[in-house]
Amino acid sequence: MRIQRSVGVLIVVACVTACVTLSSAQKSLIVIQPKLTPQSSGTTQLLIAVSPVNTDIVWAAGAHGTFLLTTDGGKTWKSGTVKGTENLQFRDVQGVSATVAYLQSIGTQPNDFRIYKTEDGGATWTKEFQNDLAGAFYDCFAFWTPTRGISHSDSVNGVFPDIRTTDGKTWQSIAGNMPPALPGEFSFASSGTCVATQGATNAWIATGGASIARILATTDGANTWNAYDTPLLSSASAGAFTVDFRDPVHGIVGGGDLAPSDPDNARTAVSSDGGRTWTLTNAPPVTGAIFGLSYVRQLGSGCNQTCKTVTTYVVVTANTGGAAWTPDEGTTWYVLPGVSGGWAVAFASPDAGWLVGAGGQITKISF
């Protein structure tokens, strides 16, 4: 199905926060407010996807063939346009280093769905994939390593024509590996997070559009897949928009309804068994649909000299529908003031996350 997919974001932040081991009651009294720092992107284009490599190197992408790169944590951003994509949107970006990144585009024609790669910091781009299948709509991609990844498309005649790369250069069909699609089933080309990868071989895909919003899951690098139901609303304009996992078994999914007449179905659900079963959380205080989510990756394995406890945070934005965050993955929510028009968010560390969106908006988020 081809619909205009306006987008919001969902973030999960794993962060070292306390200096001593606290009781549950003590922890419940601690509310660490995130710090929001607007940054100058140098563009007014809509920004749709963001991919931090580390606390200094971040790639972003959006409308009219636009990509951005910072190598100093967002103090300065360099923007550019991929030649020949001025009328396309980059709905996903994967940063690898200051010189290497991938982009995935959408458009109105079958051959507008493309994957590009740069190896010189965006000075030149190589087109690695261009779709020629009528009806395909490539929504998102995700990578296990700099050279191993998958890209997901809406279903065509009951089949998901997904593709995979194992060398970072060529892409092959894995349509025969995918589970059958439900009638009308598709995914949302939101903030590049309808596909999530974890570890060396795990991946999950969020779907909607059909009578049931599902999660497609693989544990063997996309050779075989299973499909699992979620409790999120699903219809021709609704479903599961975004998914991520913080380890092989614990994950979160977000979604809602794009229909203006149904703004109150922004929901999240969590899984503790690899996506087989899902439980709704309390509803976040936002409207519209939740379209992007990302677990925050703590850089390194150590801690600072005083911190001993680990807490999980979740931040949610719903584009024009507001923003909120939770210290306990959906039981308790706090409004995140002043955030609107956000399309995507991702973290390199708890104190280095970036939210991008309408009008070239870039905001650094720190906990």
Contact 53, 348 (CB under 8 A): yes
Average pLDDT value over all residues in the chain:
87
CA 38, 44, 50, 51 dihedral sign is negative
4: pLDDT strictly greater than 50: no
15: pLDDT strictly greater than 90: no
Count of C-beta atoms within a 10 Å radius of residue 228: 18
265: pLDDT strictly greater than 90: yes
Domains, the chain, ordered by start: 9-366 (2.130.10.10)
Half-sphere exposure of 272 (CA within 13 A, CB side): 4
Question: pLDDT tens across 128-183, in order?
Answer: 999 999 999 999 999 999 999 999 999 999 999 999 999 999 999 999 999 999 99
The encoded tokens of residue 75 equal 């103090």
Half-sphere exposure of 247 (CA within 13 A, CB side): 7
Q: What is the Cα–Cα distance from 174 to 161, expressed in whole angstroms?
A: 7
Give the mean pLDDT of 78-106: 98
Question: pLDDT tens across 314-323, in order?
Answer: 777 677 787 7
The predicted pLDDT at position 306 comes to: 37
Q: What is the Cα–Cα distance from 50 to 92, expressed in whole angstroms?
A: 8
Q: 210 or 331: which carries more pLDDT confidence?
A: 210
Contact 183, 236 (CB under 8 A): no
Lowest-confidence region among 95-99, 215-219, 254-258, 341-345: 341-345
Question: pLDDT tens across 193-213, in order?
Answer: 999 999 999 999 999 999 999
Q: 230 or 309: which carries more pLDDT confidence?
A: 230
Q: What is the Cα–Cα distance from 155 to 126, expressed in whole angstroms?
A: 27
Give the mean pLDDT of 63-87: 98
